[in-house]
């Protein structure tokens, strides 16, 4: 994989990402490289800041979740499958009740925790051909989008945890930032 994943503690993960334009050089190649990095690290989503690019771009392929939930309808499963690209995304609304789902992050290996978020979103974005979409999305796909979208705002899923949980995780997070972590994909650490 061409780009290492930035680890927790890297300052770029805390920056608010900027919009891009269709003439950005190398955009299509970058999107392909992001999917490659995501698949090689067994992720279901990857945001550009995680590979050191502070731009509003994230990619998702949530197919692994389709086999996980037995209550899911075929139509819901189909929605999860396939490569999805979100450029200059803006979440316009978040609705419905809050629900817990266990999240993880390629930038925070070895930590998985329940995060509470609203069940539905309305999102405006451009696809990789710069066609504009406004969609209402719910369920697991909404969840993955909310997580990736947070990366564009400099927010990580651990920020959503209770202060008690954060204290419990502090040492693990410090270790990740120092590179003291077992991981089977390439990472870049702020201090090592």
How far is Cα 186 from Cα 116, in angstroms, rounded to an integer? 29
**Two structure tokens written together for 57:** 């771009």
Site for Ni ion in 86-125 (CB under 5 A): 105
Residue whose CB is less far from Ni ion, 73 or 184: 184
- 148 counts as catalytic: yes
Least separation in angstroms between CB 170 and Ni ion: 19
Q: Determine, following the binding rule CB under 5 A, whether residue 17 of this chain makes contact with Ni ion.
A: no
Distance of CA 8 to the CA centre of its chain: 13
DSSP state of 182: -
Q: Determine, following the binding rule CB under 5 A, whether residue 7 of this chain makes contact with Ni ion.
A: no
Residue whose CB is less far from Ni ion, 105 or 121: 105
Q: Determine, following the binding rule CB under 5 A, whether residue 137 of this chain makes contact with Ni ion.
A: no
Residue whose CB is less far from Ni ion, 22 or 110: 110
Least separation in angstroms between CB 21 and Ni ion: 25
How far is Cα 52 from Cα 56, in angstroms, rounded to an integer? 12
Least separation in angstroms between CB 43 and Ni ion: 8
Residue of closest CB approach to Ni ion: 105
List the one residue out of 149, 189, 113, 152 whose CA is nearest residue 14.
Answer: 152
List the one residue out of 82, 6, 84 whose CA is nearest residue 49.
Answer: 6
Catalytic choice (36, 70, 148, 153): 148
Burial class of residue 121 in the structure, from the number of CB atoms within 10 Å of its CB (0-12 exposed, 13-18 middle, 19+ buried): buried
Residue whose CB is less far from Ni ion, 62 or 105: 105
Query: How close are the terminal C-alpha atoms of the chain, in Å?
Result: 21
Least separation in angstroms between CB 147 and Ni ion: 6
Q: What contacts 30, CB < 8 A, 6 or more positions away?
A: 48, 53, 57
Residue whose CB is less far from Ni ion, 105 or 161: 105
Query: What does DSSP say about strands 132-138 and 5-6: parallel, antiparallel, or unpaired?
Result: unpaired
Give the interface size with Ni ion as a residue count (CB under 5 A): 1
Least separation in angstroms between CB 18 and Ni ion: 19
| Interface contacts to Ni ion, rule CB under 5 A | 105
Active site residues: 148
């Amino acid at each position: 994989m061409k780009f290492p994943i930035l680890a927790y503690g890297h300052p770029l993960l805390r920056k608010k990402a900027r919009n891009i334009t269709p003439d950005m050089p190398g955009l299509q190649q970058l999107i392909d490289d992001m999917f490659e990095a995501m698949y090689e690290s067994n992720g279901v989503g990857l945001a550009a800041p995680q590979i050191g690019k502070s731009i509003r771009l994230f990619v998702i392929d949530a197919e692994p979740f389709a086999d996980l939930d037995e209550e899911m309808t075929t139509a819901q499963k189909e929605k999860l499958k396939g490569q999805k690209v979100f450029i200059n995304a803006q979440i316009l609304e978040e609705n419905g009740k809050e629900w817990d789902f266990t999240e993880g992050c390629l930038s925070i290996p070895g930590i998985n925790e329940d995060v509470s978020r609203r069940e539905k979103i309305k999102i405006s974005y451009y696809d990789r051909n710069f066609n504009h979409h406004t969609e209402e999305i719910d369920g697991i796909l909404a969840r993955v989008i909310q997580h990736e979208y947070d990366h564009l705002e400099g927010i990580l899923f651990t920020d959503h945890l209770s202060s008690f949980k954060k204290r419990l995780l502090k040492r693990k997070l410090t270790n990740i930032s120092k590179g003291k972590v077992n991981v089977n994909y390439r990472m870049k650490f702020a201090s090592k």
